[in-house]
Each structure stands twice: as structure tokens, then as C-alpha cells.
């Protein structure tokens, strides 16, 4: 082949290569958007919070985000949670989902995050006076009222009742107490004959997430009120603690119990007849929906956030009694399989 032909063919091949390279560049699929960095901060590390984490991780996978999980070393402890948040590098994330331990004292923190350009979603417990963009959780006043209705169902003649709370700094505890108290007041007002109140609340007792303190409160209350008819526990730990203490005192089945959430011990207590009913939340969905909402907000899409209720997305809590316990456990078994 002559030198001239070789030069021509080389030029042709170079032209073809250039065209192919151009077409590859033009028709290549666009590069995926950068992975969105988000943070998920729980109120502790116990089983309830692990379910929120499972939901959050599943949502992170489905929504293509990079999720950092932070669990305070102490459950329901403001200082422990604040130390976790204080360690975060604000440049390393675009949005944060947090379950506030103290709604009032953490409002300024949330407002400062929003002012700094971060998207903030609260879950399980809210900070309603803050500028957070969305909340995911139960309608807690309604759930508290349902606990009172369950108590009326279990004790139609009424009696003395003690109510346990983790604290009254968390918005969810405030709401549950409010709903319970209003429903019990309605029961009293319904007696038009001026007879003694059907239910007498001997106290709303705060244990600050300390189960030794809670056990002490239970023992002291039973000793002071020997005719106590019922105890209502408005936090996930109360069911197991009540069963343990009443078992030690040999008072199981002597006091009617209405509890909150679905700890294994609580569900076993319902099956054995020691607990009348519990109000079961869906912490998995709290985690899943809060991360999904946060991802949408950070990407400029607010369609997943409700227009009304300042962006509140309520996930139903439902009463679990002995008659629907089997069905509930089957659903939970399927959920655990799906969450890996």
C-alpha cells in the first residue's frame, strides 16, 4: 500500500473514531446525581428505637440517600442527645431527622439548623413551636384518649388509677397525658347524680426513662393506695417494668394494666392475661416516612409532605387486645422479614 493511501486510511479511521467518541459522549446516560447525605437521630438505643432505625435504613435504600445513624448513649436523656448533635459537622449533611427529647429546649436548636439551610423533620415526638418542616408520628392526644377508653372498657365501675410517663418535656408524652386526662374528665362529668367520680387519678408519675425509678414509683404507689384498681403506662418500657414489679409483689392480675407499644414482654403479658391491652405504634414507619420526607424536601419536592397540619404525617396507633394479638404478631413477623 502506498504511503498516500496509508495516510488517507489513517485519516478515515481517526474521523470514524472521533464520530464514535462524540456519539458515545452525547448518548451516554447522564451521571447520577450526588448521593444525598442525611442524619437520623433517635432518642435512645433500646428495641423501640431499633425499629425506627430499621425503617430509616430501608427508606434510605429506596430513596437513594446516604444515611448516618446516631443513637444517644442514654435513653430519653437530653444531654446525651444534644452531645450527639453537637458533634455533627454541619457541612457533612443536608437534612436531619430527629426525635426531640425536650420540645421547648430544643426548639432553638432546630430553628438554627433551619436558618443554616438544613431541612429538619421530627419523628415520634415533635417540637411544634419550631420551624421544622415536617413531623412523622402518632396523634398522641388521640392515642392517650384511647388508653382512657380501654381503661373504661376494662373497669366499667371505675376505681383509682395511676399513670406512668417518661417525662413531660417530650411533646408526645404531653399529648398522651392531655388526651387521657380529658377522656377521664368526661367520664366523671357523665355522672349527673353527683356520685363520686368513676375514676380517680392518684397521680401522673414521671420516671425520666429510669426503670429503677419507675419500679420504685410502682411499689410506693401500691403501698400508699392499697385499693388501686389500675395502672396506665404511656411509654414502651412501662409494660415490661409493670409485669416484673407486680410479679415480684405477687400482684399480677390484681391490678388492671393498660400500656403503650409492643415490647415482647408486653405482648406476652397480653397473651397471659396480665395486661388488658396496649396501644401499638409503628416505629418502623416513623423511621421510613421521616427519611422519605426528608429526602423529598432536600431535593426540592414537597409533594410527600402534607399541606395541612404544618406538614404533620400521622401514623395510626391501634389497641392490641388478646383477641387480635395473633393477627398483630403475624403482621410483625412479615415486617421483620421485609426489613431483613
Query: 52 with 283: CB under 8 angstroms?
Result: yes
Query: 188 with 182: CB under 8 angstroms?
Result: no
CA atoms within 13 A on the CB side of 133: 26
Counting every residue written for the chain, the total comes to 340
For residue 205, the surrounding DSSP H or E stretch is strand 199-206
What are 88's three cell numbers? Answer: 455533627
Q: Which CATH architecture has domain 36-138+283-316?
A: 3-Layer(aba) Sandwich (3.40)
Q: Which residue matches cell numbers 436523656?
A: 77
Query: 75 with 238: CB under 8 angstroms?
Result: no
Q: CA geometry: angle at 17 spanning 20 and 3, to 5°?
A: 155
For residue 17, the surrounding DSSP H or E stretch is helix 3-27
Q: Which residue matches cell numbers 426513662?
A: 209
For 275, which DSSP code?
S
Q: Look at residues 157, 145, 277, 163 and name the one whose alpha carbon lies nearest to residue 230.
A: 163
List the beta bridge partners of residue 92: none
pLDDT of 311: 84
Print pLDDT tens along the chain (340 aa): 555 666 555 565 565 656 565 555 545 555 555 689 999 999 999 999 999 999 999 999 999 999 999 999 999 999 999 999 999 999 999 999 999 999 999 999 999 999 999 999 999 999 999 999 999 999 999 999 999 999 999 999 999 999 999 999 999 999 999 999 999 888 655 545 555 558 999 999 999 989 999 999 999 999 999 999 999 999 999 999 999 999 999 999 999 999 999 999 999 999 999 999 999 999 999 999 999 999 999 999 888 777 777 789 999 999 999 999 999 999 988 877 766 6
What are 49's three cell numbers? Answer: 428505637
pLDDT of 332: 87
Asked if the domains at 36-138+283-316 and 140-280 fall in one CATH topology, the answer is yes
Q: CA geometry: angle at 230 spanning 267 and 327, to 5°?
A: 25
Supply the angle between the helices 238-248 and 264-272 in degrees, to the nearest 10: 50
The CATH H-level (homologous superfamily) assignment of domain 140-280 is Response regulator (3.40.50.2300)
Query: 99 with 281: CB under 8 angstroms?
Result: no
Q: From residue 173, how far is each of 82, 166, 180, 242 by CA, in Å? A: 19, 7, 11, 18
Query: 258 with 309: CB under 8 angstroms?
Result: no
List the beta bridge partners of residue 232: 163, 258
Question: What is the largest distance, in Å, between two alpha-carbon atoms of the chain?
Answer: 120
For 297, which DSSP code?
H
Q: Where are the domains of the chain?
A: 36-138+283-316, 140-280
Q: Which residue matches cell numbers 423529598?
A: 296
Residue 265 burial (CB count, 10 A):
17
User: What's this model's pTM, rounded to 2 decimal places?
Assistant: 0.84
Number of H helices, E strands in the chain: 11, 12
Alpha-carbon dihedral 73, 101, 217, 235, rounded to 10 degrees: -90
Sheet containing strand 95-98, strands side by side: 65-70, 36-41, 95-98, 119-123, 134-137, 312-314
pLDDT of 5: 61
Amino acid at each position: 500500500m502506498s504511503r498516500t493511501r496509508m495516510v488517507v486510511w489513517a485519516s478515515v479511521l481517526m474521523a470514524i473514531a472521533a464520530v464514535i467518541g462524540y456519539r458515545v459522549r452525547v448518548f451516554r446516560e447522564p451521571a447520577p446525581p450526588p448521593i444525598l447525605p442525611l442524619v437520623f437521630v433517635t432518642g435512645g438505643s433500646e428495641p423501640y428505637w431499633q425499629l425506627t432505625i430499621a425503617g430509616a435504613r430501608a427508606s434510605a435504600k429506596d430513596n437513594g440517600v446516604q444515611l448516618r445513624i446516631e443513637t444517644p448513649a442514654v435513653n430519653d436523656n437530653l444531654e446525651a442527645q444534644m452531645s450527639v448533635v453537637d458533634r455533627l459537622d454541619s457541612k457533612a449533611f443536608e437534612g436531619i431527622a430527629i426525635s426531640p427529647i425536650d420540645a421547648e429546649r430544643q426548639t432553638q436548636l432546630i430553628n438554627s439548623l433551619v436558618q443554616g439551610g438544613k431541612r429538619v423533620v421530627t419523628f415520634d415526638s415533635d417540637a411544634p413551636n419550631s420551624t421544622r418542616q415536617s413531623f412523622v408520628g402518632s396523634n398522641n392526644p388521640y392515642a392517650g384518649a384511647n388508653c382512657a377508653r380501654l381503661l373504661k372498657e376494662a373497669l366499667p365501675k371505675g376505681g383509682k388509677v395511676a399513670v406512668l410517663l417518661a417525662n413531660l418535656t417530650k411533646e408526645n408524652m404531653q399529648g398522651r397525658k392531655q388526651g387521657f386526662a380529658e377522656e377521664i374528665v368526661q367520664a366523671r362529668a357523665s355522672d349527673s347524680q353527683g356520685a363520686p367520680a368513676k375514676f380517680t387519678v392518684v397521680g401522673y408519675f414521671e420516671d425520666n426513662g429510669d426503670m429503677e425509678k419507675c419500679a420504685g414509683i410502682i411499689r410506693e404507689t401500691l403501698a400508699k393506695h392499697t385499693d388501686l384498681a389500675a395502672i396506665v403506662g404511656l411509654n414502651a418500657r412501662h409494660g415490661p417494668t409493670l409485669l416484673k414489679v407486680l410479679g415480684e409483689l405477687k400482684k399480677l392480675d390484681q391490678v388492671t394494666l393498660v400500656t403503650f407499644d409492643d415490647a415482647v414482654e408486653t405482648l406476652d403479658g397480653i397473651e397471659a392475661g396480665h395486661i388488658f391491652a396496649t396501644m401499638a405504634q409503628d416505629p418502623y414507619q416513623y423511621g421510613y416516612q421521616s427519611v422519605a420526607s426528608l429526602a423529598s424536601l432536600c431535593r426540592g419536592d414537597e409533594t410527600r409532605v402534607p399541606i395541612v397540619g404544618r406538614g404533620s404525617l400521622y401514623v395510626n396507633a391501634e389497641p392490641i387486645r388478646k383477641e387480635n394479638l395473633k393477627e398483630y404478631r403475624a403482621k410483625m413477623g412479615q415486617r421483620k422479614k421485609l426489613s431483613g
